[in-house]
DNA sequence: GTCACATACC
């Protein structure tokens, strides 16, 4: 037995070893243990005789490095399908049932429910078990449960140590509970306990996640000794809150760098919608011979998605294949999203179907892509498949579903899913969902129904919802309701020059020149300028940005000539019977000014 | 033994 366990578990021999290990173990204790073949016959064995005679457990008791091997066995069990065999899986858990280590083992495998069962059942719980449970929940993003365990710990009069506090501080970061985080900080300070580097890092991270950059900075400045993690927390914190100059300053200042800080910085630029600069950083990183990893790729693909930079996106896809980067769920999803946003629907679906594992975000990206491409029915059937496979849709998924209905003019389906969203899936609609529904109803000419929906929005409809109604009113020439919507829009956002322009346009179309003049006057009095629209296009890996009536590009004349030809070729689907396409396709709505 | 950093759908 000893021999089998201590030999190395190479991937080819592991399966064999695992089976051998189990058959040996089971047969070695067969005199004390009857063979249980079915679920009902099996009983949880945790008696002392079994524990003492179990060689695996005694090894676990002495040397924890076997934990890693146990983990390997476990993952092999899942891969080979043995884990679904109740007998084998229960055996594995039973091997260790009396050991506190099993809690850590189960936690590290993500089996928090099982871990908690063992934890809850055990009569003796040491501090490490408490900490394992708490940190297990925090790492899985289940901080509320971590908090509950912490409360229980307090009731059991177990004094928390530094590791407990680190876990709880992490929970405060996730739950955005700055107040409790500060309390934990002062608890440590008041007890005059030593602030280790991990504790300082955890506190800084908590302050950063709660947006308290100053408190994080103060801690950072006071640290005598810092690790790469300390620097990373500061860089990513500043980057997340858009303080990119500060992030860059720290990045340049830090003594030693690894890939994580590059990723934090690139991710910051992408989140700040400064994707071009993010890609420049990526290039810089490569000239410095730093190997990008999966996380880098995810951010860069997201940058390409924002910019519509298909060529660079394809290059990144090749890079991933060439360098055999692991196609994680995030990376696959980022690829799906990049192809979708760059308008390459075939590749979007190909990558989607090639992915070995997909989660709800992957499905959401695909549904959104199909919706955006006008394949409304496909989007809906993907949604049904997603739900069928047991994945939970979220508010973003429903945005895709509703916009699929909107683009396809599927009014009845839209209404059905909008209702299901709250009743079946318990997802409260946000203003974007309302805006989508108002748009769907509005385009179909159901203005009264749309207006009713706007009135029914909890916490008052925001500008996007009124904007959708205003658009529908303009399309269907309902001046009275359009006026109402526009005035509401001006009340909500008096600085949005677009509303004034569109309202004036509506009046002009309705031959109400005097009212149009009034609106323009109002805009002038409020000192508003029309904001120019901007779009970008990628050609041979270069990204070009164009503003409305922009003539700065050297080939401007040819570009406009091409644009005019393209506009002439656009097939107009007669979806809105009353729409004035000549006005929509006029070089821009602002040209009348 | 347990603990601290970067990533995808709006």
Nucleotide of closest approach to A358 (CA, C1'): B8
Q: Which helix (H) or strand (E) holds A542?
A: strand A542-547
Nearest CA among A315, A271, A276, A277 for reference residue A297: A315
Q: Can you point out the beta strands (E) in A365-431? A: none
What's the Å distance between residue A394 CA and nucleotide B6 C1'? Answer: 25
Q: What is the pLDDT of residue A78?
A: 53
Q: What is the pLDDT of residue A393?
A: 96
* Tens digit of each residue's pLDDT (9 = 90 or more) over A471-489: 999 989 999 999 999 989 8
Spatial distance between the Cα atoms of A378 and A410, rounded to a whole number of angstroms: 12
Q: How far is CA A225 from CA A186, A234, A344, in A?
A: 21, 14, 49
Spatial distance between the Cα atoms of A431 and A437, rounded to a whole number of angstroms: 10
Q: What's the token pair of residue A400?
A: 């895709």
Nucleotide of closest approach to A362 (CA, C1'): B9
Nucleotide of closest approach to A240 (CA, C1'): B6
Reported pTM? 0.74
Contacts by A523-532 with C-beta closer than 8 Å and gap 24+?
A523/A497, A526/A494, A526/A495, A528/A495, A528/A497, A528/A500, A529/A497, A530/A497, A530/A498, A530/A501, A530/A590, A530/A593, A531/A497, A531/A498, A532/A590
User: Which residues in chain A, range 34-93, keep a C-beta under 7 Å from any nucleic strand B atom?
Assistant: 64
Spatial distance between the Cα atoms of A209 and A232, rounded to a whole number of angstroms: 13
* Tens digit of each residue's pLDDT (9 = 90 or more) over A515-563: 889 888 888 888 877 766 666 666 766 767 767 677 787 887 887 787 7
For the ranges A26-35, A101-110, A433-442, which has the lowest average pLDDT? A26-35
Buried b or exposed e, range A407-425, using 16+ CB within 10 angstroms:
bbebbebbbebbeebeeee
Q: What's the token pair of residue A493?
A: 């956002």
For the ranges A45-54, A242-251, A295-304, which has the lowest average pLDDT? A45-54
Over residues A338-351, the mean pLDDT reads: 96
Contact, A193 CB vs strand B, < 7 Å: no
* Tens digit of each residue's pLDDT (9 = 90 or more) over A161-181: 999 999 999 999 999 999 999
Contact, A205 CB vs strand B, < 7 Å: yes
Contacts by A153-160 with C-beta closer than 8 Å and gap 24+?
A156/A125, A158/A125, A158/A127, A158/A130, A160/A130
Spatial distance between the Cα atoms of A157 and A178, rounded to a whole number of angstroms: 25
What's the Å distance between residue A298 CA and nucleotide B6 C1'? Answer: 11
Q: What is the pLDDT of residue A109?
A: 72
Spatial distance between the Cα atoms of A239 and A436, rounded to a whole number of angstroms: 32
Q: What's the token pair of residue A275?
A: 């994707």
Is the pLDDT assigned to residue A494 strictly greater than 50?
A: yes
Give phi and psi for A163, each to the nearest 5.
-65, -40
Nucleotide of closest approach to A301 (CA, C1'): B8
Q: What is the pLDDT of residue A359?
A: 95
Q: What is the pLDDT of residue A92?
A: 52
Spatial distance between the Cα atoms of A451 and A465, rounded to a whole number of angstroms: 10
Q: What's the token pair of residue A354?
A: 């090639």
User: Which residues in chain A, range 247-266, keep a C-beta under 7 Å from any nucleic strand B atom?
Assistant: 259-261, 263-264
DSSP readout, A55-113?
HHHHHHHH-TTHHHHHHHHHHHHHHHTGGGSHHHHHHHHHHTTT-THHHHHHHHTT-HH
Q: Which residues contact residue A459 at a Cβ distance below 8 angstroms, ignoring those fewer than 6 apart?
A: none
Cβ-contact A325, A294 below 8 angstroms = yes
């Amino acid at each position: 037995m000893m021999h089998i366990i201590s030999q190395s578990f190479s991937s080819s021999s592991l399966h064999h070893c695992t089976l051998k290990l189990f058959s040996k173990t089971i047969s070695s204790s067969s005199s004390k243990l009857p063979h249980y073949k079915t679920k009902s016959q099996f009983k949880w064995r945790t008696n002392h005789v079994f524990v003492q005679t179990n060689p695996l457990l005694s090894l676990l008791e002495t040397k924890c490095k076997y934990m890693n091997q146990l983990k390997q066995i476990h993952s092999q069990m899942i891969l080979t399908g043995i884990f679904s065999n109740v007998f084998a899986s229960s055996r594995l858990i039973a091997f260790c049932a009396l050991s506190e280590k099993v809690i850590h083992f189960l936690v590290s495998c993500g089996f928090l429910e099982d871990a908690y069962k063992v934890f809850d059942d055990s009569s003796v719980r040491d501090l490490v078990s408490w900490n394992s449970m708490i940190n297990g929940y925090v790492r899985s993003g289940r901080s509320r449960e971590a908090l509950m365990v912490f409360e229980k710990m307090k009731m059991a009069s177990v004094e928390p140590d530094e590791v407990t506090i680190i876990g709880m501080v992490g929970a405060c970061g996730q739950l955005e509970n700055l107040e409790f985080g500060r309390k934990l900080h002062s608890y440590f300070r008041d007890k005059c306990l030593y602030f280790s580097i991990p504790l300082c890092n955890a506190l800084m991270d908590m302050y950063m996640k709660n947006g308290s950059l100053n408190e994080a900075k103060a801690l950072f400045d006071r640290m005598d000794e810092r690790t790469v993690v300390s620097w990373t927390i500061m860089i990513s914190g500043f980057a997340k809150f858009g303080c990119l100059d500060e992030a860059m300053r720290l990045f340049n200042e830090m003594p030693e760098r690894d890939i994580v800080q590059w990723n934090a910085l690139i991710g910051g630029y992408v989140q700040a919608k400064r994707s071009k600069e993010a890609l420049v950083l990526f290039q810089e990183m490569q000239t410095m011979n730093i190997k990008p990893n999966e996380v880098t790729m995810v951010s860069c693909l997201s940058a390409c998605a924002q910019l519509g930079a298909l060529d660079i996106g394809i290059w990144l896809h090749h890079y991933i294949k060439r360098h055999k980067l692991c196609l994680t769920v995030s990376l696959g999803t980022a690829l799906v999203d990049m192809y979708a946003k760059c308008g390459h629907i075939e590749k979007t679906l190909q990558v989607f179907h090639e992915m070995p594992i997909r989660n709800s975000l992957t499905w959401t990206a695909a549904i959104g892509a199909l919706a955006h491409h006008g394949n409304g029915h496909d989007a809906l059937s993907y949604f049904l498949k997603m739900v069928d496979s047991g994945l939970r849709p979220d508010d973003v998924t429903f945005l895709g579903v509703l916009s699929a209905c909107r683009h396809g003019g599927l009014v009845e389906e839209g209404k059905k899913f909008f209702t299901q969203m709250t009743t079946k899936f318990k997802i409260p609609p946000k203003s974007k969902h309302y805006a989508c529904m108002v748009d769907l109803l509005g385009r179909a000419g159901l203005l009264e129904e749309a207006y009713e929906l706007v009135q029914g929005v909890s916490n008052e409809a925001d500008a996007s919802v009124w904007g959708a109604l205003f658009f529908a009113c303009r399309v269907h020439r309902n001046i009275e309701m359009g006026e109402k919507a526009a005035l509401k829009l001006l009340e909500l956002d008096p600085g949005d020059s677009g509303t004034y322009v569109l309202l004036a346009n509506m009046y002009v179309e309705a031959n109400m020149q005097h009212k149009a003049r009034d609106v323009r006057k109002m805009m002038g009095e409020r000192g508003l300028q029309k904001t120019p629209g901007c779009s970008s296009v990628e050609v041979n890996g270069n990204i070009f940005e164009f503003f409305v009536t922009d003539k700065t590009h050297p080939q401007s004349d040819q570009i406009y000539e091409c644009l005019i030809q393209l506009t002439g070729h656009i097939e107009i689907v007669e979806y809105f019977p009353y729409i004035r396409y000549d006005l929509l396709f006029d070089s821009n709505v602002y040209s009348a000014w």
